[in-house]
A and B are shown apart, each in its own frame.
Chain A
Amino acid sequence: MSELEYSNRLKDLFTSIMDHDIKNYLTSILGYSTLLSHSSSGDAQTYSRIIEENAKKINDLITDVRTFSQIQDADLAKKMAAQDLSRLVKPVVDELKSKAEKKQIELKLDIPPGRYRFDGLSLISEVFRNLVDNAIKYSGRGAPVEIYAEDRGDKFVFCVKDQGAGVPAAYKETIFNRFERLDYHIKEGIEGSGLGLAIARALTALHHGKIWVEDNPTGGAIFKVELPRSRA
């Protein structure tokens, strides 16, 4: 894909997000606001919650779009710095802890400090945040989420293991492809929501790594991100 084609596709993607996702969220916000003005207090609580959730979804989408634009910044490669996986993942887990607790989900973090070092952008935290956030979203009540890493010689693999419904074989590849599958998106609607996994793939590629999903042998999914270790 040439740079021009790429930037045109990106523009189309953003337009389709504005057209589809944001309009759907606004439909809920405006619709429930109308109901709110003449509803009982019990209903009002539910409607307010839905309005708040949909407004947050719009905010998350705008953040995602901004992250995606940052990835297009050619100077990013120059901003790579020495990173320690543990130092990037811990704040993400701390931040998502309260969200997990609402579903009584324990986030089991096992990544020793200093063991997995790589050259990269702090922006790659977005990949870790997205995977842990998804694991919480798709896990049932009380099902723990494990966050760990595996040694692979001059590389390492960051893993997020959940006990949710898992990812059907037909979607194992396409869930990372919202960007490439723009035509499908426009014609058929969206599988899943948000740009998170497409961003995760783009960011991982920028770090010369790869991302994929495997079945958890005991049920659920394991999302894996392989990154090259720093040479020093």
Chain B
Amino acid sequence: MNTKKIILVDDDEDILGLLQIIFAEKGFEVKTAAGGEQLFQIRGTFVPDAILLDMMMPKMSGEAVLQKIREDRAYDKIKIFFLSVLILPEDQLDTFQKKYKVSGYFNKPFIKNELINNILNALG
């Protein structure tokens, strides 16, 4: 099995550290970014299978990052997941996921195994 690669994006340092441990434990090759700008820098040299994005970040919101990602065809094969404190009503969530082709939306606080298993399943 190939090693899965993921970029984790969150402005909260503790949460970023936590996610890094969890994904590394499952054998992922992990890069972390404190925000959108850093993500696009990393993306220049590291092609991930998945990106896990926080929704509410200063400077560039998760949605703004996602819009930029979807403008670039090079990201088409990369699966995008969201991690957010925002609980979206089901219809809004559905529209949002379809609009941006989002592969999964998880709420904070998250359950470790649920998060990692869902992402692993989506990556196949």
Interface residues, chain A, CB within 8 Å of chain B? 19-20, 23-24, 26-32, 34-35, 50, 53-54, 186-191
Contacts and interface: CB of A to CB of B under 8 A. Distances in A.
B86 A31 contact: no
B58 A191 contact: yes
B97 interface: no
B15 A24 contact: yes
B29 interface: no
Contact of A31 (B11, B18, B61): B18
Given A189-B11, A191-B58, A31 B85 contact: no
Given A31-B109, A34-B112, A189-B57, A24 B12 contact: yes
Interface in B31-66: 56-59, 61
Contacts of A189: 11, 56-58, 61
Contact of A188 (B15, B56, B112): B56
A62 to B, nearest CB: 17
A226 B12 CA distance: 34
A31 B58 contact: no
Nearest to A22: B85
A24 B58 contact: no
B85 A19 contact: yes
A32 B20 CA distance: 12
Contacts, number: 58
26 contacts: A23-B85, A23-B109, A26-B108, A26-B109, A27-B12, A27-B15, A27-B18, A27-B85, A27-B108, A27-B109, A29-B109, A30-B109, A31-B15, A31-B22, A31-B110, A35-B18, A50-B17, A50-B18, A187-B61, A188-B57, A189-B11, A189-B56, A189-B57, A189-B61, A190-B56, A191-B58
Contacts of B57: 188-189
Contacts of A29: 109
A116 B58 CA distance: 39
A32 B18 contact: yes
A42 to B, nearest CB: 13
Contacts of B11: 189
B57 to A, nearest CB: 5
SS of B interface (majority): loop
Interface residues of B, number: 19
Contacts of A50: 14, 17-18
Contacts of A32: 14, 18
Contacts of A191: 58
B21 interface: yes
A206 B59 CA distance: 32
A186 B110 CA distance: 20
Nearest to B56: A189
Nearest to B54: A189
A126 B18 CA distance: 33
A185 to B, nearest CB: 9
A24 B55 CA distance: 12
Contacts of B15: 24, 27-28, 31
B112 A20 contact: no
Nearest to A39: B21
Contact of B21 (A26, A27, A35, A190): A35
Contacts of A20: 56, 85
A26 B12 CA distance: 12
